[in-house]
Amino acid sequence: MRNTVHRTTRPPVGRRLAATAVALGSCLALAVPVGTAQAAAADPVPTVFFGDSYTSNFGIAPFQQDDTKRIFCFQAKENYPAAATRRLAVKGITLDVQSDVSCGGALVKDFWSEQQLPTGSLPPQQDAFKADTRLAVGSMGGNTLGFPSILKQCSDKLRDHALLPGEPVDPDEPAARCSEFFSSGDGKAWLDWRFETVKEELEEMLTRMVYVSPEADTVLVGYPRIVPADTAKCQTPAPGQKELPLADIPADALPVLDQIQNRLNDVMKEAATAEGAAFVDLYGHTGDNTACDGVNRGIGGLLEDSQLNLGGEQSIPWYAHPSERGRDIQAEQVAAKVEQILNP
In eight-state DSSP terms, residue 228 is -
Nearest to residue 274, comparing CAs of 222, 204, 185? 204
Query: Of 51, 104, 105, 301, which residue is the catalytic one?
Result: 105
Q: What would the DSSP string read from start to end of 245-293?
A: TTTT--GGGHHHHHHHHHHHHHHHHHHHHHTT-EEE-SGGG-TTSSTTS
* 305-310 and 314-317 strand pairing: antiparallel
Instruction: Determine whether 53 is an active site residue.
Output: yes
Query: Of 146, 321, 323, 326, which residue is the catalytic one?
Result: 321
Q: How many helices (H) and strands (E) does the chain have?
A: 10, 9
CB 280 within 8 A of CB 335: no
Which backbone phi and psi does 8 adopt, to 5 degrees?
-90, -25
CB 336 within 8 A of CB 91: no
Residue type, 154: C
Gap between the Cα atoms of 164 and 107, Å rounded: 16
Instruction: Determine whether 141 is an active site residue.
Output: no
Distance from the first to the final alpha carbon of the chain:
9
CA 285 to chain centre: 16
Query: Of 57, 139, 143, 149, which residue is the catalytic one?
Result: 143
Residue type, 35: G
Nearest to residue 106, comparing CAs of 124, 86, 80? 124
In eight-state DSSP terms, residue 121 is E
Instruction: Determine whether 105 is an active site residue.
Output: yes
Query: Of 14, 51, 53, 141, which residue is the catalytic one?
Result: 53
Gap between the Cα atoms of 65 and 50, Å rounded: 18
DSSP SS3 for 32: coil
Instruction: Determine whether 321 is an active site residue.
Output: yes
Gap between the Cα atoms of 46 and 131, Å rounded: 10
List CB contacts of 43: < 8 A, sequence separation 6 or more: 94
Cis peptide before 62 (omega within 30 of 0): yes
Gap between the Cα atoms of 102 and 58, Å rounded: 10
Q: Show which residues are catalytic.
A: 53, 105, 143, 321
